[in-house]
Structure 1
Amino acid sequence: MKEIIAIIRPKKMAQTKNVLETLGFPAMTARRVMGRGKQRAIIGEVSFDIQEPELLEEKGSMSYIPKRMISLVVPDEDASLVVEVIMRVNHTGQIGDGKIFVCPIRDAVRVRTDERGESAIA
């Protein structure tokens, strides 16, 4: 099994969720996160007034920018498909498209039934 962790633009969250669900991957965890890459954040990417001065850096950039982080665990054979789908939905060619991390998972347990391994994520 693999855990796919993707950090994406907030405006791409609904489309990403819908495409993954259509392909048979409806289960995921999603969080609102703040972060930035090496390029720093560009204020034009956000559609709200910045109220917290600690988020602002120099003119035209921020310390951190709102993103969405999704996490899903899939069988090994599906990991490449999930990564490709997330890339296609979220690719704009602009700075800030995001990152995807693929991590090995040794085991999973469904608390309700005590199922283990891939049957726990099915």
Structure 2
Amino acid sequence: MKEIFAIIRPNKISKTKDVLDALGYPSMTAISVFGRGKQKAILNEVNLQQSDSNLREECGNMEYVPKRLVSIVAPDEEVQLIVEAIMKVNCTGSIGDGKIFICPINDSIRVRNKDQGIEAIL
């Protein structure tokens, strides 16, 4: 099993969820995050509250850029399909499209009935 972490633009989360659901991967965790990379500002992507102390928008420069972190655990053989789908939906060709990280998962356990391994995520 692998865990796929994708950091994507906030305005792409709905389409990403829809595409993954259509491919048969409805289970995911999505979190609002702030981060830094080569992208220094955002234009016309999200509305930010003026009082947010983590953000500073001056002359096209921000201290942190809002993104969405999507986490999906999948069997090894399905990782490539999921990654390709995420890339297809989120690639605009512009800086700030995001990153994808793939990490090994040693085990998983479903709390409700103690299913373990692949059975716990399906």
One-letter code of the match for 1:77?
E
User: Secondary structure of 1:120's partner?
Assistant: helix
Number of the residue aligned with 2:26: 26
Deviation at 1:44, TM superposition (A): 5.1
Larger relative helix fraction: 1
Matched pairs, number: 122
Number of the residue aligned with 2:106: 106
TM-score, normalised by the number of residues in structure 1: 0.91
1:66-120 residue CA offsets vs partner (Å, 9 max, x unmatched)? 1100101000000010000000000000010000000000100000010110000
Counting aligned pairs with the same residue, the percent is 57
> Any stretches of 5+ residues in structure 1 without a counterpart?
none
TM-score, normalised by the number of residues in structure 2: 0.91
Q: Does 1:94 align with 2:57?
A: no
Number of the residue aligned with 1:83: 83
One-letter code of the match for 1:62?
M
| Runs of 4+, deviation exceeding 4 Å | none
Are the structure 2 counterparts of residues 60 and 106 from structure 1 closer, same or farther at C-alpha, using a change threshold of 3 Å? Answer: same
1:6-63 residue CA offsets vs partner (Å, 9 max, x unmatched)? 0000110000000000101000111000112134234554434543355216521101
Are the structure 2 counterparts of residues 15 and 57 from structure 1 closer, same or farther at C-alpha, using a change threshold of 3 Å? Answer: closer
> Any stretches of 5+ residues in structure 2 without a counterpart?
none
One-letter code of the match for 1:73?
V
